[in-house]
Structure 1
Amino acid sequence: MISAIILAAGMSVRMGSPKQLLKLGDKPLIRIVTENVLASSVDEILVVTGYKENQVSAVIKDLPVKTVINPCYEQGQGTSLAAGVKNLPVDTEAFLVFMVDQPFITSLLINKVIEEFKKRRCLALRPVCNGQPGHPVIFSYDLSAQLQQLAGDEGARPVLKKLGSRVEYFTVQDQAAIFDIDTPEIYESLKSLNKLTLN
């Protein structure tokens, strides 16, 4: 089983409002990201909520996903990832991690990551675009114990750093792998787009 964890619990302090509820077109980011993952070959999806939990859950309540509430979301992204990993099905072979501010990652890119992981059978695999490591990262379930210990706001970075050369990479041409909506300026520039594409 290949699972997915979508991190949608943060307060988005730099953005000034919760990213998960920002809209592109008529859809909030959490809805866009979740639908993109649902369109892929992922078998199970967990959405980790926290800040504005009721509003975020309401946006995706009709979708076939499992919601996990992180009561420690104020302590950072690491706690949300840990909460997601703790709730993975026991028969999970590997899992991908998604950020709510990357709505351009398509099912095509997700499936490429999964296919490459199945070929390599490594501990962690990350797409690279223009020489820059991107998302989504896929982890072997063998790393679940380490990821369940995460805290702070660095997400999976401490585990990836500890793995060092055991993290594998593969090149993609899709700019979505390295693009996120990180500032109000980027968001404002995207709101006028008619379709979700970077290419």
Structure 2
Amino acid sequence: MRDKPVVLILAAGKGERFTASGGGEHKLAARLAGTSVLDHVIQAVASSGLAMHVVRHSPGQGGMGDSIAAGVRETAHAAGWLILPGDLPLIRPTSLQHVSAGMMVKTIVVPHYRQQQGHPVAFRYDCFDALSALTGDEGARAVVKAYRQSDQVLDLVLDDPGIVTDVDTVDDLVAAEKAMAQHK
């Protein structure tokens, strides 16, 4: 029997759009309400009670697919994976729990907020071979597409704008700060 699912926090990207937009540091190190963007994500996962693994680099410093594959191989003991980019600082712990629970229903869980696809996307262990073989920048889109054809994808509607609120530019960081202030 496999362990519980693991949240793979992807923190290996270059963050070039953020620095190109005027950011003076990597987007994951940027401060949001006094805490780094990445630390907000780590805190949300910790509060969810789910196990986590932070992927800080991938062999050859490739794209998202390489990072996912590296994280999956490093946590091969897991029952599945919730793939969570490290630039979603407003994600709620309860959203992570709902996506994880969805793996009891279908092989893959794709969360949505107001008809926009979000993260984390969850994959049961059945997807190990496909995920561990990913390369390049595309991520796991092809894996989701293949499983969707066999009706093994759960589209999960969540009331959490944090699943789609990523920080790619300085303007995104400012918007996240405003959203965080409104929520408090």
Q: Establish whether TM, by shorter chain, passes 0.5.
A: yes
* Alpha-carbon shift at residue 142 of structure 1 (Å): 1.0
Do the aligned partners of 2:13 and 2:64 also contact (CA within 8 Å) in 1?
Answer: yes
| Structure (1 or 2) with the greater helix fraction | 2
- Partner secondary structure for residue 162 of structure 2: helix
* Alpha-carbon shift at residue 116 of structure 1 (Å): 2.6
Question: Is 1:116 matched with 2:102?
Answer: yes
Question: Is 1:184 matched with 2:170?
Answer: yes
Determine the C-alpha separation between the residues in 2 that align with 1:48 and 1:35. 16
Q: Which amino acid aligns with 1:116?
A: G
Question: Is 1:45 matched with 2:45?
Answer: no
Determine the C-alpha separation between the residues in 1 that align with 2:53 and 2:136. 20
Match of 2:22 in 1: none
Determine the C-alpha separation between the residues in 1 that align with 2:9 and 2:147. 22
- Residues 93, 190 of structure 1: alpha-carbon distance in 2 compared, 3 angstrom cutoff: closer
Determine the C-alpha separation between the residues in 1 that align with 2:115 and 2:93. 22
* Alpha-carbon shift at residue 196 of structure 1 (Å): 8.1
Determine the C-alpha separation between the residues in 2 that align with 1:156 and 1:178. 17
Determine the C-alpha separation between the residues in 2 that align with 1:111 and 1:164. 22
- The structure 2 residue matched to 1:82, chosen from 52, 63, 69, is 69
Do the aligned partners of 1:4 and 1:46 also contact (CA within 8 Å) in 2?
Answer: yes
| Per-residue Cα deviation, 1:148-183 (whole angstroms, up to 9, x for no partner) | 111111111121123234322121122122221222
Determine the C-alpha separation between the residues in 2 that align with 1:35 and 1:83. 22
TM-score for the superposition, normalised by structure 1: 0.80
The aligned runs of 1:13-92 (5 Å cut-off) are: 13-16=16-19, 17-42=25-50, 44-50=51-57, 70-73=58-61, 75-90=62-77, 92=78
* Alpha-carbon shift at residue 96 of structure 1 (Å): 0.6
- Partner secondary structure for residue 158 of structure 1: helix
Do the aligned partners of 1:147 and 1:156 also contact (CA within 8 Å) in 2?
Answer: yes
Q: Which amino acid aligns with 1:48?
A: V
Identity of aligned residues (%): 29
Q: Does 96-105 or 166-175 show the bigger shift?
A: 166-175
TM-score for the superposition, normalised by structure 2: 0.85
Length, aligned pairs only: 174
Do the aligned partners of 2:59 and 2:70 also contact (CA within 8 Å) in 1?
Answer: no
Match of 1:96 in 2: 82
Q: Does 139-148 or 13-22 show the bigger shift?
A: 13-22
**Higher RCO, 1 or 2 (CA under 8 Å, sep at least 6)?**
2
Do the aligned partners of 1:7 and 1:98 also contact (CA within 8 Å) in 2?
Answer: yes
